[in-house]
A and B are shown apart, each in its own frame.
Chain A
């Protein structure tokens, strides 16, 4: 059976800004799981999140519907007046990185190898 989770990380607002939200996902994000990802990102944006960090380092599989959910979040941020989605994926996670490489979404979603790097980049953009 496939397995998937997504969790909210501790708020980092004090240090980086109140509109920053950090999420972490793990397991396999296929068409069975991507609706949860889409919903969670949409909830973050509804709650005022404009700079989102999504850590996919513990994800073992990602498909086109997961990429679609990420692109959908970027579109929602744009519609909400602006924002950014930064994806974190550790360098060792070659399988997930390869999907991002070939998907052609680099102009929409910034990819970082660590959460700290993503947060710094978003903090500077805010």
Chain B
């Protein structure tokens, strides 16, 4: 399921994840693994895994998987910053960004933003990518 893009660097890797709620634990495990490899401590790894879990949940709930039923996760290390991109083939509706106090959904992005140093959302027709970045402590 996982393909290392660069055998020299395990931190340039990607994961094609079946778009199923039961696979969210796998996404979190993957992030913990690459975050530890990058040198994050337990709290930083947890923050990144939390944010990626939110992005993958959004992709499963509101996005669209690729033709094989997958959501794509890719990891990039850039100096002291680790970035995980979560990509799906849906067209994210920005109306889903806000939550009312008593709403059951819509908190994901606010929580991601609190946990990360940067959250970038790139939307075009049939393509939604969330990039979650965090620097070494």
A residues near B (Cβ < 8 Å) are 1-2, 28, 30-32, 61, 63-65, 67-69, 71-72, 74-75, 95, 99, 102-105, 107-108
B104 touches A71 (CB 8 A): yes
Q: Confirm or deny: B53 has a beta carbon within 8 angstroms of a beta carbon on chain A.
A: yes
Q: Are B61 and A31 in contact (CB under 8 A)?
A: yes
Q: Mark B53-77, 1 if CB is under 8 A from A, else 0.
A: 1100100110000000000000000
A-B CB contact pairs (8 Å), 25 listed: A30-B24, A30-B25, A30-B28, A30-B53, A31-B61, A32-B21, A32-B24, A61-B53, A63-B57, A64-B54, A64-B107, A67-B107, A68-B104, A68-B105, A68-B107, A69-B104, A74-B102, A95-B46, A102-B114, A102-B115, A103-B107, A103-B111, A104-B101, A105-B101, A107-B101
Majority SS at the chain B contact face: helix
Residue among B54, B60, B61 facing the most chain A CB atoms (10 A cut-off): B54
Distance of A54 from chain B, by nearest CB (Å): 16
